Amino acid sequence: MIDIHTHILPGVDDGAQNLTNAVKMLEQAAADGIKGIVCTPHILKKSDFDKEAIYFKRLETLKKAGQESGIPVELYLGSEIYIQPDLSFESRMSTLNNNGKYFLIEFPMSTIPRFAAEMFFALIADNRIPIIAHPERYVGFLRYPEFAFEFVNRGALLQVNAGSLRGKLGSEIRQLAYKFMDHNLVHFIASDCHDVERRSCKLKETYQLVAEKWGEMTANSIFIENPKIVLEGGELNLPMPSPIVKETATWKNAFKKILKYWK
């Protein structure tokens, strides 16, 4: 398995705070059957890319420490870019493993930015493919899951967090992650790991869950083949997404929501 969303690069964001912690995370990932990790530190503003040289240096340090400890995991660099109207692709870490095509993008928690659809349209036409990080966690998609299909149908990709699918963030987020899976909208499942405890570098349990519920072929695409193709900037073989129908305001739905509220 290859994990395309991690905060394992030491001392750069809210993930691994130092090299010792980063190596522990690496050990955890290796023990879990992960063979490749893309380090995706947060890029909150364009000027964060100016520190590119530091990030690459940290990557080399971590690679060396991993090799010295005999941990058989390949490391790559990318980033998790916070969505902004003027995205730049000049940096070697703007796309995952500098593949030139696929990049990981984060939305605000509370809303889907109005400019996202138009911006993605222009980018996709330019062969820059956005991978939306953990859509199941955003209030925008929790309220309007049908928009997730709209994004995928127009060429964006979705990366769900392993923990979300295992219910670590509650039943509502798990339900949405399941819904995305049921509608062929999930192209990657990653750990989004920040440490070895609460947000750990593990995928195996979720791989097994996906294989049991949606089949081994789907699990292999999501955890192994798609990430590999992304690292090389190749063409993905995508399943046909099925639309999520907008929930209509029927009395039945309203009643269900009231019941949920009073639970």
Cβ of residue 43: shortest distance to Fe ion, in angstroms? 11
Q: Based on CB atoms, which residue is closest to Fe ion, 3 or 192?
A: 192
Which of 12, 159, 27 is CA-nearest to residue 77? 12
Q: For residue 39, list its beta bridge partners.
A: 6, 77
The nearest distance, CB 71 to Fe ion, in angstroms, is: 22
Q: Answer yes or no whether residue 3 interacts with Fe ion by CB under 5 A.
A: no
Binding mask 133-172 for Fe ion (x = CB under 5 A): ----------------------------------------
Is 13 a residue that touches Fe ion (CB under 5 A)?
no
CB of 39 vs Fe ion, minimal distance in Å: 11
Please identify, using beta-carbon distances, which residue of 137 and 183 lies nearer to Fe ion: 137
Binding of residue 192 to Fe ion (CB under 5 A): yes
Q: Which of residues 66-95 bind Fe ion (CB under 5 A)?
A: 80
Identity of the residue, 192 or 195, whose beta carbon is nearer to Fe ion in the bound complex: 192
Q: How far is CA 171 from CA 17, 165, 198, in A?
A: 30, 9, 17
Contact in structure between 37 and 75 (CB atoms under 8 Å): yes
Q: Are strands 188-190 and 157-161 parallel, antiparallel or unpaired?
A: parallel
Compute the distance between CA of residue 70 and CA of residue 64 in angstroms, rounded to an integer. Answer: 10
- The distance of closest approach from Cβ of residue 257 to Fe ion in the complex, given in angstroms and rounded to an integer, is 30
- Determine the size of the site formed for Fe ion (CB under 5 A): 2
Tell the smallest beta-carbon distance from residue 191 to Fe ion (Å): 9
**Residues forming a β-bridge with 160:** 189
Of 86-94, 110-118, 178-186, 189-197, the window that binds Fe ion (rule: CB under 5 A) is 189-197
Q: How far apart are CA 121 and CA 127, in angstroms?
A: 10
Q: Which of 142-175 are b and which e, b meaning 16 or more Cβ less than 10 Å from the residue's Cβ?
A: eeebebbbebbeeebbbbbbbbbbeeebeeebbe
Which residues here bind Fe ion, judged by CB under 5 A? 80, 192
